[in-house]
Chains A and B, each alone.
Chain A
Amino acid sequence: MRKILFLLVLWAAPLSAAQVTEDPLERQMLDIAGKLRCAVCQNQPVSESNADLAKDMRAIIREQLQAGKSREQIIAYFVERYGDYILLKPPFDQAGALLWLAPPLLLIILGGSAYLFLRRRLQAPARDYPALSAEDQARVRAVRGQEKIYQTRRPE
């Protein structure tokens, strides 16, 4: 390994400086690979994984791009083989619907209950708060050590 590398360096050194540019195909490939999950990795897109499977998948994407296939066709190709599991963004279908509907629904439920809570508290007649005993009051002051807050609240 070491010898090979050494030879490699020697061989490579005399090459004249050339500016390398990124192959636009490579960018397209990485774009598509970024949408797909590396099936054998833990939560890693194909574009970032070093697993053999991910390398193969990148090669397949590259080939298919060269063959003139569109982005959708290539993604469909992988979905056909691996199922929706391969998509990092779950599709809106039977299995994924809950995922997409839940956030807005939760917003409505949580926001609605907060609204109702505030409205009820706003309308409710002032309730008597049980007075603390003198002993408890002294304790509260000691615990908080911040009587100042009450004295210095600005009248707005």
Chain B
Amino acid sequence: MLSSLSLNLIELGHFAAYLAFTVALVQGLAPLLAHKLRLPSLADISINAAILVFLLTTLGGLTLIHAFVTSNFSVLYVAMTSNSQLPLFYKVAALWGGHEGSLYLWVWILTLFTVFVVWHGRRRYPERLPVILAVQGWLMVGFFGLILFLSNPFLRVFPVPVDGRDLNPLLQDPGMVIHPPMLYLGYVGFSVPYAFAMAALLTNWNSELWIGHIRRWALIAWGFLTTGIILGAWWSYYELGWGGYWAWDPVENASFMPWLLGTALIHSITVQERRRMLHAWNLFLVITTFALSLLGTFLVRSGVLSSVHAFAVDPGRGAYILLFMILVLSVSFGIFLRKGRYQQAEENITSVLSRESFFVWNNVVFTLAGACVLLGTLYPLALEALTAAKISVGPPYFNAVMVPIFLLAMLLMGIAPLVPWRKANADKLRRRLLLPAIIGLAVAVLMWLVFPALYWTGPVAVGLVGFVLGMLATDFVRAVKQRRRQLPHEGPVLAMVNTILRNQRHYGGMVVHFGIMLIAIGLVGSGLFRLEKSVMMAPGDILEIGGERLRFDRVQQFRRDNYLAVQAQFTSLNSGYTLAPERRRYPVQEAPTTEASIHSTLLRDVYAIITEPEGGRWGVQVYVNPLVQFIWLGGMVIISGLGFSLSYRVRRMIRSPATVPASLS
């Protein structure tokens, strides 16, 4: 039996959460009061408050985790999402297995980011720091209000249940353990640029001074969001057992919208940094990206997606969320509209054929993409709420609309990195584009000849991949050659390494583009060349799919941890590997789940699941998904490229400026 101290530790956490709420209020108010009372020193309170809120929120979070680990089912939330039989790993992760805990994790991460901002800004921008923290403080107040008054994970239940209702079996997967924190690190990460932007608008902060900071924070947030989305797709692929990884589900779209706008932002912010343009537009993008992050959190967490009526089932929570969104949006855009152009002077464009104008087109494409996903996700909800008419907007719609937009983005990716700032020499550009264009065209034609029946997007996408990859390769080779001409004594390998190291930001970005291309290859391969078979089989039968001969060996049953499993075994008669898909039954939740078994090679995955038995035969579904591994590989490449690009300043601090050779230009 638990000691009473251990049992009631949760109350300490509950108290800490209330204190955090109060201190966050102080954090939000301090700079306001300092301004009103003309007591600048008062503003610094928000710095200490930010640290205190983080400590208190951490205390609250740790008591929640403690309640999960000790299976303290007197806590309602623990009783709802955990079970004494649950493996320890998942007990901890069950913290974000439901609404209440997810929101708590959100605000916990927000306080964590705030502390990072304190650490980052104390010396770099001390006079603006309190305002930035105040903006984040108000966000915390909003979230803590929702958590404490409407969605409280600390609530107790009496009588204490004998055991918990268990974590949703679908969430009992390593992918699902890391996916939500990554996603939230991304969502919440965008609150930092947002707080910077609001502080800049409120205090007429010269954009030269904050643009570099916003860029780095936005890149970090973008990296986490990208990781979160790819992990989500990975989880969907491995755990949900439907052979795919992206379904244009509203929950997925919710994370994809801020990603699209965030992608527009991290590109267009460079224009402001280098060319002092698009100042107001970037502020707009920062606010919109964060607003979409909030929308994403709330869409998933309010239950509005399953049905508009679910919103009304818990009217308090729904109304609060709606009100909070309206408040954040109207205050942010109100301030933006009033002061967005506080920094009027901007530079002009020298030529339409310049990097800056291509960045503008990039923004057109990504804003369009974001708007279309938003429309497709919210339109059915709005239509149902307004006219009671119900329609579905599913994958066929999104594929039809989004694929052409992606192709447009790829076209820009192949040209824009070659175009210099200010003004490009059209002849030179044409010459540099010639080889990549030939490569792209050749690949597209080849594709079309080999697979004439393919939908038009297939050859076009493959051609564009060839075009972009050709551009990346030729551009790099040209840079290395140029370096070798200038420094002939350097060996070829050293020249390559140094070319990259001397322009880390650029090549980091190009590595990210390369990763995107790998993902594009994976999407084309698995999207257009997927094979599937759905058959009834008895042990001993053989299934042939895509040249692969699979023998159904046997079915066995066993019990593990907290579930019962029926496991089938297949052997490939070609290469000898075995597949062992399972059906699991988790007695507490009574929900059967299918565990796919996947044999992966770089070129293709063989993906098997079993469904229900019928008259001595089992329903078997087998998919052959070509090139899926390229998607996960691309994700890793993107993150490495981003990390490489971001490590730029760290390297510079280590190396003394005197060692940078003057011959670089």
Contacts and interface: CB of A to CB of B under 8 A. Distances in A.
Contacts of A11: 616
Contacts of B361: 114
B210 to A, nearest CB: 8
B392 A156 contact: no
Given A127-B346, A132-B208, A136-B206, A50 B428 contact: no
B390 interface: yes
Interface string A130-156: 101000100110011110110111101
B4 interface: no
B478 interface: no
B664 interface: yes
Given A8-B613, A114-B361, A156-B423, A89 B556 contact: no
Contact of B392 (A37, A132, A152): A37
Given A121-B348, A143-B213, A26 B534 contact: yes
A126 B389 CA distance: 54
B249 A42 contact: yes
Nearest to B620: A20
Nearest to A155: B665
B535 interface: yes
A132 B206 CA distance: 10
A67 interface: no
B664 A152 contact: yes
Contacts of A85: 390-392
Name the interface size band of chain A.
35 or more
Nearest to B371: A106
Interface residues of B, number: 89
B173 interface: no
Contacts of A18: 540-542
Contacts of B248: 43
A145 B346 CA distance: 22
B276 A129 contact: yes
A114 B271 CA distance: 14
Nearest to B277: A121
Contacts of B449: none
B539 A12 contact: yes
A27 B566 CA distance: 26
A20 B543 contact: yes
Interface stretch (B94-102, B375-383, B517-525): B375-383
A103 B401 contact: yes
Contact of B555 (A8, A43, A145, A153): A8
Contact of A122 (B348, B364, B535): B348
A87 B392 contact: yes
Nearest to A104: B401
Given A5-B555, A12-B539, A114-B360, A89 B372 contact: no
B547 interface: no
Interface in A1-57: 2, 5-6, 8-9, 11-23, 26-27, 30, 35, 37, 42-45, 48, 50
A50 B405 CA distance: 33
Contacts of A143: 124, 208-209, 212-213
B238 to A, nearest CB: 16
A110 interface: yes
Contacts of B556: 9
A3 to B, nearest CB: 10
A147 B264 CA distance: 25
Nearest to A99: B379
A106 B616 contact: no
Given A48-B242, A118-B360, A156-B423, A90 B542 contact: no
A98 B665 contact: no
A2 B557 contact: yes
Given A45-B394, A129-B347, A156-B428, A20 B537 contact: yes
B130 interface: no
Nearest to A110: B364
Contacts of B376: 99
A107 B345 contact: no
A21 B541 CA distance: 10
A106 to B, nearest CB: 5
A123 to B, nearest CB: 9
Given A5-B555, A124-B348, A129-B345, A154 B420 contact: yes
Contacts of B347: 127, 129
Contact of A110 (B277, B368, B541, B566): B368
Contact of A12 (B383, B557, B616, B664): B616
Nearest to B545: A22
B116 interface: no
Interface string A46-77: 00101000000000000000000000000000
Interface in B273-300: 273-274, 276-277
A37 B392 CA distance: 8
Contact of A42 (B209, B305, B536, B551): B305
B122 interface: no
A80 interface: no
B274 A149 contact: yes
A122 B349 contact: yes
A53 to B, nearest CB: 15
Given A30-B534, A48-B242, A132-B208, A89 B383 contact: no
A102 B543 CA distance: 46
A127 to B, nearest CB: 6
B309 interface: no
B383 A95 contact: yes
- Rank and list the top 5 A-B pairs by shortest CB-CB distance, nearest first: A88-B394, A89-B396, A85-B390, A156-B420, A121-B349
15 contacts: A17-B551, A19-B544, A42-B249, A99-B379, A106-B368, A107-B368, A117-B360, A122-B348, A139-B209, A140-B209, A143-B213, A144-B212, A146-B649, A152-B664, A154-B665
Given A106-B368, A121-B346, 12 more contacts: A12-B538, A17-B540, A20-B536, A42-B249, A43-B250, A50-B594, A85-B390, A118-B349, A124-B348, A127-B347, A129-B276, A129-B345
